[in-house]
A and B are shown apart, each in its own frame.
Chain A
Amino acid sequence: MTPEQLLYTKSHEWAYIQTDSAGDKIATVGLSTFALELLTDLVYVDLPEVGRRVTAGEPLGEIESVKAVSDIYSPVDGEVVEINTALADNLAGLADDPYDAGWFVKIKITDESSLSGLLDYAAYQKQCEEEDH
């Protein structure tokens, strides 16, 4: 997928929304290139367990770089259905491929109205440009 296809939070998570075979809406969630570049060298990621209920805007995990620990915020309301178990061993490569191999969790969306708070690519780009100054 490409950055243009994704929705974003103001806190730099991306979400890719798909409908699965059962008709449920699934959000695949990761961190944007912009955020990963700010974090610099990553050393640890703490992801939630499958089944955990998450709320848009609330922390679902943590990512740790050599300089800081940051919360990863959920973009949507829902339930964690899958986590990227390969991520922990490949943190060094995360910044090279943040939108495919670099996903963190998949969340079954339970309240679609939580999507309305997300930014599209253009709006997110604008926010990043403002933060850069």
Chain B
Amino acid sequence: MLDAIGVDSIDDLFAMVPDELRLDRPLDLPAAMGEIELSAHMAGLAAKNTSAGRAACFLGGGSYDHFIPAVVDSIASRSEFYTSYTPYQAEAAQGNLQAIFEYQTLITQLTGMDVSNSSLYDGGSAAAEAVMMSLGVTRRSGRVVVAASVHPEYRQVLATYLANLDTELITVGTPEGTVSPEELEAALTDQTACVLIQHPNFFGCLEDVDAIAEITHRARALLIVSVDPISLGILKRPGDYGADVMVAEGQSLGTAMSFGGPYLGIMACREKFVRRMPGRLVGQTVDRRGRRCWVLTLQTREQHIRREKATSNICTNQGLIALRAAVYLALMGPKGMQEVAELCLQKARYAAEQLTTAGSLSCAFNKPTFKEFVVRVEGDVDQLLQSALAEGIFAGVPLRQWYPELADCLLLAVTEKRTKEEIDRLAAVLK
């Protein structure tokens, strides 16, 4: 290679690096290992972690320990899918486009929305992108209203997106666990572009979506709802209660918790807003011989054509995780989704009852919930979590870090994977 670039030696190649910046001794690294040795070493490091697979996991707050059928890994690990990136030479990748088209179709069926894009990065950025979209659709940029019951980290992402705009970010408090329609109404102005809520919300509570939709639309603002896709097996779909843009974290649909990523940003909207929607979009058409095929469509929304006027600077997607979601949804079907949702609901209900009957714990909010709920703890939250961990239980997410007024509260999630035995053990430790 030195010959090819016309340099005599490696020292000549680095001659421009000043002496004082050079390391004049070997790197302080252990000796190289053979493959057998290395595998054992890595296994030892991995064993220091307690994974959700080895504990009873009641953690939630945006990342959930749902069951992943083996079919999902089997299909997603095919090299045609596993190694491919978002389609840039799009039409040469018909298989990928078809898979994404199926994903989009499944998402619209699940959510009752008209159009789904081919996915975004994660639930937080999808929520922020939806808000940016609403500024364009409504041509209002004065105010954005968000409920305090939306995931606090999603709200942080949103605040970052809005930091250099003149748009005011107003947070409506949720001291009772859900948005008060009266307080929401008072926060709306004729310059409000959108209302962002989460349903079920960060505390697991169900919002009064019909009232919120009515109030939001009366102010001619857009309603953006962040949902738990698993909940749609049992709850009304966002498209059915008037959501204008629906976003979601898609990790629950067949992807492992994996320390927080890579995840999947789901976004779908009403058809009339499609030209303002960010992200890639796959459409179905026919080739010159009349055969069904797929293309990237409405690309004029995107950055490589529209430049600084693009709806968003996202020109990519989360293709592999979207594929996993498509496989998961196709496998479960409407009946499977309903069963998972019912199991989550029933088990969460049982857990809440076991935890809050005759003991030191109480429910923080008196509202209907889905698979998550908040309990108020007597005594030290961290100590309680430590004693649960010693029993092999991830007992919940402490809320102090985001909500000082809920410093004595824990957020618990109960998925279809949790057993009665695990829930009873949890109750025994926490009470």
B189 at the A/B interface (Cβ < 8 Å)?
no
Q: Whole-angstrom distance from the CB of A84 to the nearest CB of chain B?
A: 19
- Min C-beta distance of B274 to chain A, whole Å: 11
| Residue in A64, A67, A71 with the greatest tally of chain B CB atoms within 10 Å | A64
Q: B300 within 8 Å of A by Cβ? A: yes
Contact of B275 among A46, A67, A68, A71 (CB under 8 A): A46
Residue of A nearest to B301 (CB): A69
B309 interface residue, CB < 8 Å from A?
yes
The interface bits of chain A over 4-39 (1 if a CB of B lies within 8 angstroms of the residue's CB, else 0) are 000000000000000000000000000000000000
B305 within 8 A of A: yes
B306 within 8 A of A: yes
CB distance A44 to B309 under 8 Å?
Answer: no
Dominant SS among interface residues on chain B: helix
**CA of A69 to CA of B299, assembled, Å:** 10
* CB of B301, distance to nearest CB on chain A (Å): 8
8 A Cβ contacts from B268-317 to A: 275, 300, 305-306, 309
Q: How far is the CA of A68 from the CA of B303 in the complex (A)?
A: 11
CA distance in complex: A126, B309 (Å): 29
Write the A40-82 contact mask toward B (1 if CB under 8 angstroms, else 0): 0001101000000000000000001001110100000000000
A64–B309 CB distance below 8 A:
no
Closest CB in chain B relative to A5 CB, distance in Å: 32
Chain B residues, Cβ within 8 Å of A44: 275, 300
Tell me the complex Cα distance, A69–B300, Å.
7
With most chain A CB atoms within 10 A of its CB, the pick from B300, B305, B309 is B300
Shortest Cβ distance from A67 into B: residue:
B305
Number of A-B contacts (CB under 8 A): 14
The size bracket of the interface on B is under 10
* Residues of chain B lying within 8 A (CB to CB) of residue A46: 275
Distance in angstroms from B315 CB to nearest chain A CB is 15
Give CA–CA (A69, B275) in the complex, Å.
11
Question: Chain A at the B interface: mostly helix, strand, loop or mixed?
Answer: strand
User: Given the complex of chains A and B, what is the CA–CA distance between A43 and B298 in angstroms?
Assistant: 10
A71-B300 Cα distance, complex, nearest whole Å = 13
Shortest C-beta distance, A60 to chain B (Å), equals 11
| Bound: A44/B301 CA distance, A | 12
Whole-angstrom distance from the CB of B130 to the nearest CB of chain A? 20
Q: Is B309 within 8 A of A71, CB to CB? A: yes
Kindly list chain A residues whose C-beta atoms are within 8 Å of the C-beta of B306.
Answer: 68-69
A59, closest chain B residue (CB)? B309
A71 partner residues in chain B, CB cutoff 8 A: 309
Measured between beta carbons, the chain A residues less than 8 angstroms from B300 are 43-44, 64, 68-69
CB proximity of A10 to chain B, nearest CB, Å: 19
Which partner residue on chain B sits nearest A70 by CB separation? B309
| Chain B residues whose C-beta falls within 8 Å of the C-beta of A43 in the assembled complex | 300
User: Nearest residue in B to A71 (C-beta to C-beta)?
Assistant: B309
Q: Which residues of A contact B275 (CB under 8 A)?
A: 44, 46
Closest Cβ of chain B to A50, distance in Å, is 14
Contacts of A69 in B (CB 8 A): 300, 305-306, 309
Question: How far does the alpha carbon of A44 sit from the alpha carbon of B276 in the complex, in Å?
Answer: 13
Q: A69–B307 Cα gap in the complex (Å)?
A: 9
Rounded to whole angstroms, the CA-CA distance of A32 and B119 in the bound complex is 39
Query: Which chain B residue lies CB-closest to A44?
Result: B275
Name the A residues within 8 Å of B309 (CB-CB).
69, 71
CB distance from B118 to the nearest CB of A (A): 20
Q: Smallest Cβ distance from B411 to chain A, in angstroms?
A: 43
Give CA–CA (A68, B305) in the complex, Å. Answer: 6
**Complexed CA–CA distance, A62 and B305 (Å):** 14
Q: For the complex, what is the distance from the CA of A67 to the CA of B305, rounded to whole Å? A: 7
A67 to B299, CA, bound (A): 9
Which residue of chain B is the closest to A65 with respect to CB atoms? B300
Q: Could you mark each residue 113-133 of chain A with 1 if its beta carbon is under 8 Å from any beta carbon of chain B, else 0?
A: 000000000000000000000
Point out the residues of chain B lying under 8 angstroms from A68, CB to CB. Answer: 300, 305-306
B90 to chain A, nearest CB (A): 16
In the assembled complex, the CB of A126 is this many whole angstroms from the nearest CB of chain B, namely 29
A91 to B309, alpha carbons, bound, how many Å?
Answer: 22
A79 CB to closest chain B CB (Å) equals 15
What is the CA–CA distance of A67 and B275 in the complex, to the nearest angstrom? 15
Interface residues of B in 326-378 (CB under 8 A from A): none
Contact sample, A vs B, 8 pairs, CB 8 Å cutoff: A44-B275, A44-B300, A46-B275, A64-B300, A68-B306, A69-B300, A69-B306, A71-B309
8 residue pairs, one from A and one from B, having the closest CB atoms? A69-B300, A69-B306, A64-B300, A69-B309, A68-B305, A69-B305, A44-B275, A46-B275
Known: A68-B306, A69-B309; 9 extra A-B contacts, CB below 8 A, are: A43-B300, A44-B275, A44-B300, A46-B275, A67-B305, A69-B300, A69-B305, A69-B306, A71-B309
